[in-house]
Structure 1
Amino acid sequence: MSKPTVLLIGGLTHANKEWNEYGSKYNLKEFLKEDRQEFLSNMKNGKYDDVVALYRSNNSVAQTGPFNKELISLLPKSLKFICHNGAGYDNIDVDACTQKGVKISSTPIAVDNATADVGIFVLLGALRQAWVPLKAIKEGKWRGSASLGHDPNGKLLGILGMGGIGRAMAERARAFGMKIAYHNRSRLPKELEGDATYLSFDELLAQSDVLSLNLSLNAKTRHIISAPEFAKMKDGVVIVNTARGALINEKDLVAALDSGKVASVGLDVFENEPEIEEGLLKSDKAFIVPHIGTMTYETQREMELLVLHNLENAVDKGSLLTPIPEQKSKANGNL
């Protein structure tokens, strides 16, 4: 009996040993350095007609481009599982996959701590408006024109998206004396909610001293924070985003910074990465880092292993360990 076939797209950094060991029970195929046209050609020519599950990542977009309708329409009938490395998966057309009967996993849990650490880092940097003195000292100007910042203690941290990363942010923020409120599509059970206050979306906008975005990007959440939402916020609110840049309309954000409606912002993600809105680059109120949320050895290895474990469970047992929320209720049955 032939072994099941699995496909690796884009290569691994920390779990090559574990991938190669799968060769004892799977037929391993790889697509590492080629481009989208070759990948599409491979599918049209039947090169992957035996592939049951594949491993891909946000980084592998460089090889294949996004998994959009065009690409998904060419996926072989044998393919049942896409095991994705990344907490965000907005470069996969989930609806097209669901219609084709393809199940998707992502890497929650593995990314929570590292992303929340960076979230607190940019939160503190924004509250203290640390960009000015950091830039000044490098230029030999000591503190430069630095002004007084604010303490986190006693501030209300509003978390939009109280999933694993949001809850990890809340845990860390409590250590700084912050009060926690949140908004989700549905309220969390008490054991996950803890002392956090559940608010409506508009209530969260109106009451937060610091607003942290910790939700997935999709058609419904794109530009969820724009001019109308800024208008509902407190004057001098601080915005933090470690999720996806396109959750915020960056031009509206720059306008809110310029007007003083938003006192400062801490960003790890941007709407058109790696390009950054010029107004953010010029603003002394913007504490920004280049999407480093999961850039630790421990987290990167844990993410790769989680994807491989999803792949193994999919092939051996027909189900995913960490299915994406849109498919979770159907993860063990027909889509």
Structure 2
Amino acid sequence: MSQKAALLIGKLDHTRKEWEEVGQVASKLYEYPDGSRSDFIDKCRNGEFNGVFAMFRSNESNSITGNFDEELVEALPSSLKFICHNGAGYDNIDVAACTKRGIQVSSTPIAVNDATADVAMFLILGALRNVTQCFQAVRQGRWRGNFKLGHDPRNKILGILGMGGIGSAVATRAKAFGMKIQYHNRNRLPENEENGATYVSFEELLKTSDVLSLNLALNKSTRHIIAKPQFDMMKDGIVIVNTARGPLIDEAALVDALNSGKVSTAGLDVFEEEPKIHQGLLDNENVVLLPHIGTATFETQRDMELLVLDNLKSALKEEKLLTQVPEQRK
């Protein structure tokens, strides 16, 4: 048997049996189900996880250890070569620090595409139809409350910023509602992957979209990619939807744009300082708010855990990852 141990940080909700089966290819299975950042770092430095070759970083692990920043990465056992992260977003892992240490990192794209795109479409429709006012009023016995007519999605131009797996899944759903799709990436997709969508510049996307959906990763270059200068370029009355990461948007600038009418409505599943939400968003009846539930289905959560385990087993058996993060791909 390979002398390579595996470590699980956090708990598993859907694949406990499959995790235990990893013991067939790992020399030992370690678990750190709860604790604190300082305790975890101490255990690493004291050699309790020596021999760990690959790590399963669960959905809840960040609440236990905090970010995998340079300090924590430096404390990890020297034997560790692979971090298999459960999540499409991995902005809480310092990939550069991992690369410097010779540690490869994987995430869970593909597994999250459909569930996240479903929520994005829910928010697009909800924002277009101004559902928050009615949701609140009917439960308060005020029937429709401060009701006003919404808009049909048909013939609206949907701008997708980040046409990866999730963005493409959003486009497919939006086309079924009669929306016209345009997108911007750093690089244009091959024509056979565009599925009829039109590639435009970032500036053109902002100027011409009726609805803007954010579906890109958070990193240093994309933080506050949508702020006051970008809002100023947009059509009056644009709809903004974000199911990616909160800090992509300058939240204070979004509140100002909503109050001025530049942005008519917004649909948000993520927030800049979540779980804290800007009071200006909470007070605005034109905003549809969800508490980061884009991947919160039984099916998707299980698929994510299984993909992490597939990466873990590939690391243990073949010393390579199936869905390595783009920054480390050659």
TM interval, shorter chain, is over 0.9
Deviation at 1:175, TM superposition (A): 0.2
Aligned length: 329
DSSP 3-state at the match of 1:220: coil
Gaps of at least 5 residues in structure 1 are 330-335
Residue 225 and residue 58 in structure 1: after superposition, are their counterparts in 2 closer, same or farther (change >3 A)? farther
Question: Secondary structure at the residue paired with 2:155?
Answer: coil
- Give the aligned partner of residue 77 of structure 1: 78
Identity %: 59
SS in 1 for 2:239: strand
In structure 2, the partner of 1:6 is 6
List aligned pairs for 1:252-263, cutoff 5 A.
Answer: 252-263=253-264
Q: Is the 8 A contact 1:40 1:71 kept in 2?
A: yes
Offset at 1:325?
Answer: 1.1
1:154 aligns to what SS in structure 2? Answer: coil
CA shift digits 1:33-64 (9 cap, x unpaired): 11111100011101112010000034211111
- Aligned-partner residue type, residue 168 of structure 1: A
CA shift, 1:287, in A, is: 0.6
Structure 2 Cα separation of the partners of residues 322 and 31 of structure 1: 24
For 1:22 and 1:288, locate their aligned partners in 2 and report how far apart those are by CA, in whole Å: 39
Specify the alignment match of 2:227 in structure 1: 226
- Counterpart of 1:116 in 2: which secondary structure? helix
Q: Residue type of the partner of 2:240? A: I
Q: CA deviation at 1:74?
A: 1.1
Aligned AA (1:56): R
Counterpart of 2:51 in structure 1 is: 50
Asked if structure 1 preserves the Cα contact closer than 8 Å seen for 2:255 and 2:281, the reply is yes
Counterpart of 1:120 in structure 2 is 121
The DSSP-based 3-state class of the residue aligned with 1:6 is: strand
**Cα distance in 2 for residues equivalent to 1:319 and 1:2:** 15
**5 Å matches for 1:1-335?**
3-26=3-26, 27-329=28-330
TM-score (norm 1): 0.97
Name the SS of the counterpart of 1:238 in structure 2.
strand
SS in structure 1 opposite 2:299? helix
Shift in Å at residue 21 of structure 1? 1.4
CA displacement at 1:2 relative to structure 2: 5.8
Q: 1:196 is matched by which residue type in structure 2?
A: A
Q: Secondary structure at the match of 2:121?
A: helix
| Preserved CA contact (<8 Å) 1:86 1:107 | yes
Instruction: Compute the displacement of 1:252 (Å).
Output: 0.2
* CA offsets 1:252-294 (integer angstroms, 9 cap, x no match): 0000000000000000001111100000000011011111100
Q: Shift of the alpha carbon at 1:185? A: 0.7
CA contact (8 A) 1:58 1:89 kept: no
The amino acid across from 1:199 in the alignment is V
Please give the alpha-carbon distance, in whole angstroms, between the structure 2 residues aligned to 1:199 and 1:59.
38
Say whether the 8 Å CA contact 1:207–1:234 is kept in structure 2: yes
CA distance in 2, matches of 1:180, 1:305: 32
* 1:148-200 CA distance string (max 9 Å, x none): 00000000000000000000000000000000000001000112112100011
CA distance in 2, matches of 1:59, 1:278: 26
Q: Which amino acid aligns with 2:64?
A: Q
Paired residues of 1:3 and 1:25 also in contact (CA < 8 A):
no
Letter in 1 for 2:21: E
Task: Map Cα deviations across residues 197-254 of structure 1 (whole Å, 9 max, x no partner).
Answer: 0011111000100000000001110100000000000000000000000000000000
C-alpha distance in structure 2 between counterparts of 1:145 and 1:103, whole Å: 53
* Structure 1 segments of 4+ aligned residues over 6 angstroms from their partners: none
State the distance in 2 between where 1:233 and 1:265 align.
Answer: 14
- The amino acid across from 1:15 in the alignment is T
Aligned mates of 1:328, 1:240 — CA distance in 2? 30
CA shift for structure 1 position 77: 1.6
Give the conservation status (yes or no) of the 8 Å contact 1:126–1:266: yes
How big is the shift at 1:328? 2.0
Structure 1 residue identity aligned to 2:236? D
Aligned residues of 1:58 and 1:91 also touching (Cα < 8 A):
no
